[in-house]
Structure 1
């Protein structure tokens, strides 16, 4: 519909590989570009390391029930309160200028290819 812009986003879940700068860059470049990058709350390291189920009436973390769940922990999202910023997070945060450039060129491209009201007749 003319005059209405629809924006998308991406959630960095462990299913999508956790913090993945390539996925974010791809999402920013599609159409009008993603406007939201969400670091999936359920896929944080804290939640993934504590999530589990009851076994014999006692809570047992998935990481202790299923050895393959360790991979989930390896790619879970970690936002540190101190120390160095992880490389993947730094790269994703640096994509803000890429998103801004991509968005401006997409809008300009759409404007130049849209018919003017007079031409639309």
Structure 2
């Protein structure tokens, strides 16, 4: 039993980037779904969501965030033949939405908000995943 637990922990550590990508997808899903539950006025007043209203209608951008996170999780779970293309596109898509959220927070917020560091970390994780997919590393 201890040997199985040790092997399981070793497997998790070897697949640490997989877990980081999974949490990135979960974060996009959670942000999109939490934004769906807010009123339009509350979302318009929030710096991290204000920028979305300029280009995308309310409801569409939340759905795109949820779909992007779901796409990233689905690609991670499914074993595709051309996994580099799928993982790379999912990571690039998630990095794009996370970067949009971070820049919106920087542009429309007054002063520095610690959430920017958190969101830029997700951008870094997804760009690292994209570089691994391009390089052929699982």
TM-score of the aligned structures, taking structure 1 as reference length: 0.31
Structure 1 or 2, whichever has the larger Rg, is: 1
Indicate the structure with greater strand content: 1
TM-score of the aligned structures, taking structure 2 as reference length: 0.28
Indicate the structure with greater helix content: 2
